[in-house]
Amino acid sequence: MTEGNDLGKTSIGMQPNLAALLSYLFGIVTGIILYIIERENKFVRFHAMQSILTFGALFVLGILLGFIPAIGLALIPVLWVLNIVLWVVLMIKAYQGERFKLPVIGDIAEKNS
């Protein structure tokens, strides 16, 4: 695990790895909150933006699947499992101090952090 001190300081007075973990806790909501209130730490801002994009995309995908008869409704449980797995993995990686980038979304988050 990377020590919190190696990740720099935050403007909110919290350890960066804990703030990054919290950005995933309630998905889009905590991602937005931490992205707005954390102005300095790129590590926290990266994880907050990745949370917003990841769980926002999964939310929209869930809605779209709901409109597809049979196949879409059959895929919704798969999407929920993916959602939970990503949620847990991203929180663990953030707490460990890793800048774990998801394909495509991670690159966008990095550019906007």
DSSP for residue 10 = -
Cβ-based neighbours of 76, under 8 Å, separated by 6 or more: 62, 65, 66
Q: How many CB atoms lie within 10 A of CB 72?
A: 15
Pair 105, 50: CB distance under 8 Å: yes
pLDDT per residue of the chain (113 residues) written in tens, 0 to 9: 444 457 889 999 999 999 999 999 999 999 999 999 999 999 999 999 999 999 999 999 999 998 998 898 899 999 999 999 999 999 999 999 999 999 999 999 999 98
Gap between the Cα atoms of 103 and 96, Å rounded: 19
Instruction: Say whether 69 sits in a helix, a strand or coil.
Output: coil
